[in-house]
């Protein structure tokens, strides 16, 4: 059973800052003024505390934001009181758009032994940066726990907290294309580029529709279409084609952000550069509330495509040989900008391939996979190609995310099933299982490309085979940037994301989840026993991989809630610089998230000062 580590009571990085060398520290001191000036030594307040805002004080916030201030009611509480209201809440599979449109809900309902989705007391359903600034200012002055939610996809539960004030950006979804964008303050020093400005509440389905389907360009975003744009960028942001275009954070040109002093600021490479750098992969909601992002638009290739196949090995020994075939094939033919997504290695001795490609046509992709398929066919006593879905398909890149009726009819995309829902409310069918899920366990680890060398690949194969004896392990090749072009690597290098991603050939992920559930509701409570058992199996699987990749680092958005050394796992050598930016822009720790930069200074729930 996984257990929560003891929380640190001292900011390790802050204590080390005087020892940190580098010109960036001096740049931060020059660029951050006027720094937000608040550093409370007292705890945050909850409803019922003497210092909780009075009705008159809440009215002052309502006067500032109008009907954007809403009282939040828990649908789980209503369900517990009246089981007749539970039907839609625990529908499986759930509708991710319906969850995203509910101020009280998050895309995941919780994580066994970690967190449970709990709505705020009040929310500001922000329409613009002024509403956000008013909420931030109110939370600071009244010592409230502040939460930020856009897409609500946080596996760590960072987009919800009981007894808090929520800044909800869902209504801020404007999208604007630019033919020749130059960041503010960079005029004369930067060449104009094609770009897109996106409101903090937009999701990637909306961004892809505007930029690709209607605009004929490409913006690097997330693989899941209902993930929020702002949260993904601030966490680094890997998508299906990151091996070609890098991270979403690497494409960020400028951000509008409300800082802890309630001021609206523009951050880019020329204006507040250290704040800007921290927003690029430093974690969602860690340094401020981002209200708008401007991202580079890349040239769209002619074709996108996908490969789907499965191979069943007929014995464990045969599966070990299949692991070797897969790793050899990846190293020789797939570790390049054309290929992304994943291979899954399962305990039932099955390999599942779910990959995408760009810049190739179908015949090119078939030629790439022919040697692997021939090797499988040449060993019928060991391997059998699945009789199920096997396909190598290619389509116009411009049509890849298009919500057309034919793709819906064939099941390539799924749609919001609510009456009157916009036709653009679509998502990949494979992502629907995440809607309303309760996580049982989840871990990730970057695997360095050096493991694919001739003298190390056998050990990697042994470790991957051993891991698969415990639980399914997926290698997400697009979430490791080894093999990416230098321009993409350079842009990712200039972000807060753990540098381990730059030299990794893949991010290994092992996870498990249950259907929508919530504690204390008969017939709908999480299966805690199963969850703990699966979490233990996941830990064993990932421990096997760490035998060949010690201290590999983990992707902050897809990681273990109980990560013991999260500062270095999430940010590596970048953590000290990120902690300095946090100290400059949010010295009082107004912006708190679980295992976010600076969270060591607070209790696990973010309400009490540590120490």
Q: Write out 462-499 in H/E/C secondary structure.
A: HHHHHHHHHCCEEEEHHHCCCCCCHHHHHHHHCCCCCC
Domain at 32-172: CATH architecture: 2-Layer Sandwich (3.30)
pLDDT of residue 10: 28
Q: Which pLDDT value is given to residue 35?
A: 46
The class that CATH gives domain 175-299 is alpha beta
Report yes or no on whether pTM surpasses 0.95.
no
Which residues in the chain are classed under CATH 3.30.70.100?
302-399
Q: What is the pLDDT of residue 388?
A: 67
Quote the pLDDT of residue 41. 57
Secondary structure of 412-437 as H, E, C letters:
CCEECCCCCCCCCCEECHHHHHHCCC
pLDDT digits (tens, 9 = 90+) for 147-196: 999 999 999 999 999 999 999 999 999 999 999 999 999 999 999 999 99
The angle, 0 to 180 degrees and rounded to 10, between the axes of the packed helices 316-329 and 362-377 is 150
- Given this model, what pLDDT does residue 219 score? 98
Q: How far apart are CA 376 and CA 357, in angstroms?
A: 22
Neighbours of 343 (CB within 10 A): 22
- Give tens-digit pLDDT for 442-462: 999 999 999 999 999 999 999
Report cis status (omega within 30 of 0) of the bond before 389.
no
pLDDT of residue 87: 86
Spans of the chain below 70 pLDDT: 1-41, 388-390
* Residue 369 near residue 330 (C-beta atoms within 8 A): no
Q: Helix, strand, or coil here: 374?
A: helix
Does residue 115 sit in helix, strand or coil? Answer: strand
All CATH 3.30.465.10 domain ranges of the chain, comma separated, are: 175-299
For residue 395, the SS3 value is strand
Interacting residues of 576 by C-beta distance below 8 A, sequence separation 6+ = 13, 16, 17, 20
Comma-separated ranges of CATH 3.30.43.10 domains in the chain: 32-172
**N-to-C CA span, the chain:** 28
**Dihedral angle at the C-alpha atoms of 517, 518, 523, 528, nearest 10 degrees?**
80
Give the number of residues written for the chain.
Answer: 611
pLDDT at 393: 92
Topology of domain 302-399, CATH? Alpha-Beta Plaits (3.30.70)
Q: What six digits make up the tokens of 172?
A: 């801020």
């Amino acid at each position: 059973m996984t257990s929560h580590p003891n929380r640190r009571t001292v900011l390790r990085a802050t204590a080390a800052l005087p020892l940190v060398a580098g010109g960036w520290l001096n740049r931060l001191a020059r660029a951050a003024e006027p720094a937000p000036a608040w550093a409370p030594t007292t705890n945050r307040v909850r409803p019922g505390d003497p210092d909780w805002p009075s009705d008159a004080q809440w009215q002052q916030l309502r006067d500032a934001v109008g009907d954007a201030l809403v009282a939040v009611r828990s649908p789980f509480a209503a369900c517990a009181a009246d089981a007749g209201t539970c039907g839609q809440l625990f529908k499986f599979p759930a509708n991710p758009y319906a969850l995203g449109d509910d101020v009280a809900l998050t895309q995941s309902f919780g994580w066994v032994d970690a967190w449970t989705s709990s709505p705020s007391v009040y929310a500001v359903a922000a329409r613009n940066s002024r509403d956000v600034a008013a909420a931030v200012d109110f939370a600071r002055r009244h010592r409230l726990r502040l939460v930020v939610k856009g897409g609500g996809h946080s596996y760590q539960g960072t987009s919800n907290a009981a007894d808090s004030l929520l800044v909800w950006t869902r209504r801020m979804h404007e999208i604007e294309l630019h033919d020749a964008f130059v960041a503010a303050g960079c005029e004369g020093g930067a060449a104009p580029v094609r770009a897109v400005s996106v409101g903090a509440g937009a999701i990637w389905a909306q961004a892809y529709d505007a930029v690709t389907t209607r605009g004929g360009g490409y913006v690097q975003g997330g693989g899941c279409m209902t993930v929020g744009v702002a949260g993904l960028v601030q966490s680094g942001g890997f998508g299906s084609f990151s091996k070609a275009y890098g991270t979403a954070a690497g494409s960020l040109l400028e951000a509008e952000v409300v800082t802890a002093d309630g001021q609206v600021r523009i951050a880019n490479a020329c204006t507040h550069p250290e704040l800007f750098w921290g927003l690029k992969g430093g974690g969602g909601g860690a340094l401020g509330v981002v209200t708008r992002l401007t991202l580079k638009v890349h040239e769209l290739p002619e074709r996108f495509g996908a490969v789907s196949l499965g191979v069943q090995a007929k014995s464990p020994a045969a599966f070990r040989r299949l692991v070797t075939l897969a790793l050899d094939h990846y190293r020789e033919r797939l570790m390049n900008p054309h290929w992304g997504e994943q291979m899954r290695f399962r305990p039932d001795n099955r390999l599942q391939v779910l990959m995408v490609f760009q810049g190739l046509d179908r015949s090119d992709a078939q030629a790439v996979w022919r040697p692997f398929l021939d090797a499988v066919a040449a060993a019928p006593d060991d391997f059998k190609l699945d009789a199920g879905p096997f396909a190598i398909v290619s389509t116009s890149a411009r049509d890849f995310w298009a919500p057309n009726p034919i793709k819906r009819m064939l099941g390539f995309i799924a749609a919001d099933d609510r009456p009157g829902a916009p036709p653009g409310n679509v998502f990949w069918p494979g992502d629907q299982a995440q809607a309303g899920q309760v996580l049982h366990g989840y871990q990730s680890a970057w695997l360095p490309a050096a493991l694919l060398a001739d003298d190390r690949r056998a050990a990697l194969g042994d470790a991957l085979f051993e891991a698969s004896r415990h639980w399914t392990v997926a290698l997400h090749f697009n979430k490791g940037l080894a093999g990416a072009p230098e321009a993409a690597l350079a842009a990712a290098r200039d972000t807060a994301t753990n540098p381990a991603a730059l030299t990794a050939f893949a991010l290994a992920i092992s996870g498990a989840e249950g259907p929508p559930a919530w504690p204390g509701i008969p017939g709908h409570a999480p299966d805690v026993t199963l969850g703990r058992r699966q979490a233990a199996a996941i830990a064993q699987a990932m421990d096997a991989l760490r035998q060949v990749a010690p201290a590999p680092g983990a992707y902050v958005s897809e990681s273990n809630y109980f990560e013991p050394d999260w500062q270095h796992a999430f940010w590596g050598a970048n953590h000290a610089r990120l902690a300095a930016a946090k100290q400059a822009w949010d010295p009082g720790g107004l912006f708190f998230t679980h295992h976010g930069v600076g969270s060591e200074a607070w209790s696990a729930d973010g309400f009490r000062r540590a120490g």
